[in-house]
Amino acid sequence: MSACQDVSYGEFGSLLMRAAGGARVPLSGSIELTFRCNLRCVHCYIPDYSGRGEMSTAEITRILDEIADEGCLWLLLTGGEVFLRADFPEIYRHAKRRGFLITIFSNGTLVDERLADLLAEYPPFGIEFTLYGLSDETYLRTTGFPGRFSRVRRGIDLLLSRRLPLSLKAVAMEPLAGEIEAMQEFCAALGVRFRYDAMVHGRLDGSLAPTTARSTPESVVAYDARDPERLGEWLKFYRQYVAPTRPTPYLMSCGAGVNSFHIDPKGTLLTCEALPLNGYDLRRGTFREGWYGVAAALRERLAGPENVCAPCELKALCDRCPATATLETGSPDGWIPYYCEVTHRRAALLEEALDRPETAARYRAHAERVAQGWTPPGAILPRASALQASPAVACGSGGGACAGGGCGAGSGRTTNPKPIAIEGPGARPETGKEVVP
């Protein structure tokens, strides 16, 4: 009898994803338990923090049962702020009983002894806090509330003292310029893994307000250049996934809807949390119906003739995708100059590291053209400005408590119609095939 071959966890995950790809087994999923949040981050994509219409405990546990029965293994619980749900312990215990490998995303401000003890009793696969600074002063600037870093610091200590699998992350946006390196040092001193990303996209209602917090394309790539470990990771990714990229006629070229899915707080099944297209209402039908119906059909959607990104040789490196394009241009086929410039500047950096100066110069020249205002002929462009809001509407809850509590009823509403098309139960079509970039 031959001995079993040892593989790393990463290799195991990759092998499992590839093996299940053809059958479209939904191995990995995320559930936004709520849009409610106790912060008001400058880059946030959530337009309404009221929590109106979010799923009940019973609806969530029923969906957890259904996705487990369909083969889901990795599950992300996120928000909003997940710990604002009073029923989080009940939901979490139910998910643990169903055998998911659970990761929790949180801002860390609400972790207390009770929650820390719950997580210690039933350890998750991972917990990630997002840092918005390293001081209460920075948190006031980035989240709109004072004293929040002190709360996060206490949450970190509570979890680490219980030896829970905590990691920290950040958004390398303009308000945090100069603090990312300090965060790296802070996490290294704690012995905690740290990662960061500079991508900030439009809001779910079509507003471009969050994009004003973006770092410049030059600053984004400068982070890569200054960090040898980060640059090495980009080079590995570039060789493995970008070099073999080939043109495709399909709109989708990522893994969304192949092995992964997302469910929003109102029970809408989506292929991706930022892609509000072809949603399926899980309150009216089952996960199986939605996964093999609407989600599968989206994988067969062709890119439009105005999609200038489909044939791009760098699309696997680019953060522009149907989701970000929809949020900023109103079309999944849209083109976003910010992402195009960042991608070509990053590719130039990587080509230089690979000692290919001519290709690096070509990519950098393209980035400069975009920076100077060049646009591809026929491309669908981002909106010229943030969407206009309609006059505020009183909710009758007593005035000033609205904003602080996140009601949202008294805030301006955009007049732009949402691009989402909710589907109810329907016949199951043929399973879509994976498109490999």
Tell me the H-state helices in 104-179. 113-121, 136-143, 148-161
What per-residue confidence (pLDDT) applies to 7? Answer: 64
Cβ(346)–Cβ(390) below 8 Å: no
Letter for the amino acid at 40?
A: R
Of 227, 163, 222, 218, residue with least CA distance to 194: 227
- Average pLDDT, stretch 48-58? 95
Percentage of residues of the chain with pLDDT beyond 70: 84
427 in a structural domain:
no
Q: What is the span of the domain harbouring residue 84?
A: 23-216+253-299
236 in a structural domain:
no
Handedness of CA 364, 366, 367, 372 (dihedral sign): positive
353 in a structural domain:
no
418 in a structural domain:
no
- Average pLDDT, stretch 272-277? 75
Say how many domains are in the chain. Answer: 1
Mean model confidence pLDDT for the chain: 85
> How far is it, in rounded angstroms, from Cα 423 to Cα 409?
26
The DSSP code for 348 is H
What per-residue confidence (pLDDT) applies to 279? Answer: 86
> 297-344: per-residue pLDDT in tens?
877 889 999 999 999 999 999 999 998 999 999 999 999 999 999 999
Q: Is the pTM of this model over 0.95?
A: no
405 in a structural domain:
no
β pairing state of 193-197 and 260-263: unpaired
Q: List the structure tokens of 423.
A: 């589907």
> How far is it, in rounded angstroms, from Cα 136 to Cα 152?
10
Q: List the structure tokens of 77.
A: 């619980």
What per-residue confidence (pLDDT) applies to 384? Answer: 64
What per-residue confidence (pLDDT) applies to 396? Answer: 31
> 231-273: per-residue pLDDT in tens?
999 999 999 988 777 778 888 887 777 889 999 999 999 988 7
In total, the chain counts a number of residues equal to: 437
Q: List the structure tokens of 40.
A: 């008001």
pLDDT(79) > 80: yes
Q: Which of 48-52, 130-134, 267-271 has the highest mean pLDDT?
A: 130-134
Confidence band, pLDDT 50/70/90 cuts, at residue 409: very low
Task: Report the CATH number at residue 279.
Answer: 3.20.20.70
> 151-196: per-residue pLDDT in tens?
999 999 999 999 999 999 999 999 999 899 999 999 999 999 999 9
What per-residue confidence (pLDDT) applies to 22? Answer: 66
Distance in Å from the first CA to the final CA of the chain = 39
pLDDT(12) > 70: no
88 in a structural domain:
yes
| Tokens 């704690």 belong to residue | 190
> How far is it, in rounded angstroms, from Cα 85 to Cα 51?
10
17 in a structural domain:
no
200 in a structural domain:
yes
Q: Which one is predicted more confidently, 427 or 251? A: 251
The radius of gyration computed from the CA coordinates of the chain, to the nearest angstrom, equals 22
Confidence band, pLDDT 50/70/90 cuts, at residue 2: low
Strand spans (E) along 193-335:
193-197, 260-263, 268-270, 280-281
- Average pLDDT, stretch 112-124? 98
Q: List the structure tokens of 316.
A: 């696997």
